[in-house]
Structure 1
Amino acid sequence: MINRMILNQTSYFGAGAVASIVDEIKKRGFSKALVVTDKDLIKFHVADKVTSLLDKAGLAYEIFSDVKANPSVNVVKQGVAAFKAAGADYLIAIGGGSPTDTSKAIGIIINNPEFADVVSLEGCAATSRPCVPIIAIPTTAGTAAEVTINYVITDEEKKRKFVCVDPHDIPVIAVIDPEMMSSMPKGLTAATGMDALTHAIEGYITKAAWELTDMMHLKAIEIISRSLRGAVNNTPEGRDGMALGQYIAGMGFSNVGLGIVHSMAHSLGGFYNTPHGIANAVLLPYVMEYNAPATGEKYREIARAMGVANVDAMSTEEARKAAVDAVRKLSVDVGIPQKMRELPSVKEEDLPALAEMSFADVCTGGNPRDTSVADILEIYRNAF
């Protein structure tokens, strides 16, 4: 069997790492950036930490700040137009997964204009050219979009999210600077952190997992489990740990895929605009229970990585329960809702439609246990 690994070209880690972009821009001969971000990051001066560096160095840029959570087809089209109007030759994405996903779509379409409708990028589109260069600077510790070959766009007309998987979209530079994440409120820190844990756990048990990605995912589970509570309380150690842990998870899952936690979360996001991290966090323990019979001894290692004591003395079933219980406890500790009915707008009568949509999601194929619409519907009902 042949396994493939794709990572971004260059990454910088640590407090103050964002200053590294100036030398990288000059070395690479970039002329003008389109800075892709959202209005809140402008309003609260988070984006200023980057643009002030550009100003000081005399580097040209224009700002596109119309990105919203769960970026839509129309937002991508607006971004493509803004890139062309600016005369830019590279992108700087500042924010969570939404600005980076938007940048990936913009960058792909600029160099592959036959995909200008955006929706044709769904799945593994046959793009022929790498996207324009992207410098990704995350302000949340969760999506790892800066190191993945995936991005997610919302088709608002059809009330659905679609996943794009393309080696041509990966940023050339990633800057993982915990100081860029320090202004995240508690709720967002918790949600994005549980998103990262979901990446690590789903990546570890997915059908395509192998030794190299197992190593990454187990280390990510360990780091996230010991760091997330501190990050929610805004401790430097917690922020540093989450910044690194989410990136390591991204290195792994980008190369082996995910499972039905993400399929089901994508449906919630497309249908109700539910924040992705919250959707993953609520669903994760229920899907773990469903998947347990298809995971061998892997839940024992998840429990161990999460700090559960005496796992070697447990039976397989006990170890599996311990892993799920550890995930639930972390989720409760950081304030995540435990049932879908606690989420805004979610209606029980919509569950059959959500199940159909989830089964069709690209992530479903990677789930360790073969599933069906009926099985997914039952998980939704248990989670509701």
Structure 2
Amino acid sequence: MHEIMMPLRISIGLGAFSGVASYASGLGTKVLIVSDPIMEQIGHVETCRNYLEQAGFSCAVYSGVDTEPTDLHVNEALAICRQEQCDVIVALGGGSCIDAAKATAVMMTNSGYIGDYVLGMNKFANRPLPLIAIPTTAGTGSEVTKVTVIIDTRRDVKMMIAQPELVPQVAIIDALLCMSCPPSVIASSGIDALCHAIEAYWSRKANPLSDGWALQAIALLIKHLPVCYAKKGDAEDFAQIALGSMLAGAAFSNASVTLIHGMSRPLGAIFHVPHGISNAMLMPAVLEFTLGYAQERIVEIGRVMRPDLVDSGSDRLSAAVLEEVRTLCSLLNTTNLRDWGIDREAFDKAIPQMAADAMASGSPGNHPRSVTAGEIEALYRICYDYEWIREEGAAR
């Protein structure tokens, strides 16, 4: 038995952003736009506001979301939403903006603190305000997921909340909004999407629909992400990574993530490493750890990543996946934890807590290889100074 959750409506295509008012029609009359300072600076917030106001909507704006959404952002957005009596929310930005908007929409109609709903400890009793999600990066896939990740600023813990009420009512995917992203954002968001797809495919909760979405996402991202990162891609290349991101989001939302994300959240919460970058820092080592425990699945990923090796043996295809992931991390100029600037002593001190938080998140339980807290601690240590490619040209 599998249950699939997706937005009621998905609009995808170049120029889809201009239709935001038509999708808001009938949902309410006053919109809260949740975004960030960069979206304001480059004019996307004003454009969104104009589209809505020209159609007769009143608008308020909260643009305080940073690189990682926190409970403080949610509280600030809630205060504006209540004061302005907004009845529709439009999230415009990367995954952080969309996650903050999801939490705002659901807490407008439910009581308590957003952290009260972590890991299903409490169920949302009421439907959220209608939410339209418009991603401006190709990465998190949050526009189609039932998940929000919010930092508890009191405990420095990333809280993952996954419930059906968090699925946006409408998702609008317009790759033209992604083309202004700097290469660093293209890299971090793109590797996050690839991680979603790989983890969804080898997850213990994978299902036939998520499998198809995950494999298609891997094929699109492995081909078009390096081109877009090098700023050699055209609108069609960006359209393909936007589609890949959305498919990867749909896949993991319905099959769950595994060990990489379980380890990534504590790393981001304690050392403030952006989510996509922390995934990239962890993915090759976790992939090595997983080889031999999801052989058939990894072989299928290999056939998608390297169609030229489709008739090769299982060992060659498994090795090819590791090669492709390492090469991609190198091409995207991913750093390890040491080169990111994290102090080794502080990192070692934090490892036991990070491992405990990773286990508590539940994500490692979906991994195809059973894992202990001790093994997670060892993986963190390996990742600290992991090298993608050695000087002699062989991956570590």
TM-based fold match above 0.5: yes
In structure 2, the residue matched to 1:364 is 364
The more displaced of 99-108 and 346-355 is: 346-355
In structure 1, the residue matched to 2:40 is 42
SS of equivalent to 1:313:
coil
In structure 1, the residue matched to 2:196 is 199
The structural deviation recorded for 1:301 is: 1.3
In structure 2, the residue matched to 1:353 is 353
In structure 2, the residue matched to 1:64 is 62
Distance 2:184 2:237 in 1: 15
Distance 1:167 1:17 in 2: 25
CA offsets per residue over residues 264-304 of structure 1, 9 Å max, x none? 11011110111000000111111111112220311111112
Query: Does the 8 A contact of 1:163 with 1:362 survive in 2?
Result: no
Superposed, which structure 2 residues align to 1:302-381 within 5 Å? 302-307=301-306, 309-314=308-313, 316-337=314-335, 339-347=336-344, 348-349=347-348, 350-381=350-381
What one-letter code is carried by the residue in structure 2 that aligns with 1:122? V
The structural deviation recorded for 1:311 is: 4.0
In structure 2, the residue matched to 1:244 is 243
What one-letter code is carried by the residue in structure 1 that aligns with 2:187? A
> Which of 210, 214, 221 lines up with 2:211 in the alignment?
214
TM-score (norm 2): 0.92
The more displaced of 160-169 and 229-238 is: 229-238
Residue 143 (structure 1) aligned with residue 140 (structure 2): yes
The more displaced of 139-148 and 58-67 is: 58-67
Unaligned runs of 5+ in 2: 385-396
Distance 1:165 1:353 in 2: 23
> Which of 153, 173, 177 lines up with 1:156 in the alignment?
153
Query: Does the 8 A contact of 1:303 with 1:319 survive in 2?
Result: yes
The more displaced of 363-372 and 172-181 is: 363-372
What one-letter code is carried by the residue in structure 1 that aligns with 2:353? A
The structural deviation recorded for 1:308 is: 5.1
Query: Does the 8 A contact of 2:24 with 2:132 survive in 1?
Result: no
SS of equivalent to 2:298:
helix
The structural deviation recorded for 1:346 is: 4.9
Distance 1:90 1:96 in 2: 19
The structural deviation recorded for 1:56 is: 2.7
The structural deviation recorded for 1:306 is: 1.2
RMSD after superposition: 1.4
Unaligned runs of 5+ in 1: none
The more displaced of 225-234 and 340-349 is: 340-349
Distance 2:310 2:320 in 1: 8
Query: Does the 8 A contact of 2:309 with 2:317 survive in 1?
Result: no
The structural deviation recorded for 1:3 is: 0.7
What one-letter code is carried by the residue in structure 1 that aligns with 2:277? I
In structure 1, the residue matched to 2:273 is 274
What one-letter code is carried by the residue in structure 2 that aligns with 1:175? I
Query: Does the 8 A contact of 1:230 with 1:239 survive in 2?
Result: no
CA offsets per residue over residues 191-230 of structure 1, 9 Å max, x none? 1000000000000000011222111100110011111012
Structure 1 runs of 4+ with >3 Å offset: none
SS of equivalent to 1:136:
strand
Query: Does the 8 A contact of 2:306 with 2:320 survive in 1?
Result: no
Query: Does the 8 A contact of 2:146 with 2:163 survive in 1?
Result: yes
What one-letter code is carried by the residue in structure 2 that aligns with 1:249? A
Residue 24 (structure 1) aligned with residue 20 (structure 2): no
Residue 112 (structure 1) aligned with residue 101 (structure 2): no
How many residue pairs get aligned? The number is 378
Distance 2:17 2:245 in 1: 17
In structure 2, the residue matched to 1:257 is 256
CA offsets per residue over residues 82-102 of structure 1, 9 Å max, x none? 110011001000001111111
State percent identity of aligned pairs: 29
Distance 1:242 1:141 in 2: 6
What one-letter code is carried by the residue in structure 1 that aligns with 2:297? K
The structural deviation recorded for 1:130 is: 1.8
Distance 2:343 2:55 in 1: 48
The structural deviation recorded for 1:251 is: 1.1
The structural deviation recorded for 1:318 is: 2.8
TM-score (norm 1): 0.95
Distance 1:119 1:334 in 2: 34
Residue 298 (structure 1) aligned with residue 297 (structure 2): yes
Distance 1:166 1:149 in 2: 6
Distance 2:326 2:145 in 1: 27
Distance 2:326 2:259 in 1: 18
Residue 15 (structure 1) aligned with residue 14 (structure 2): yes
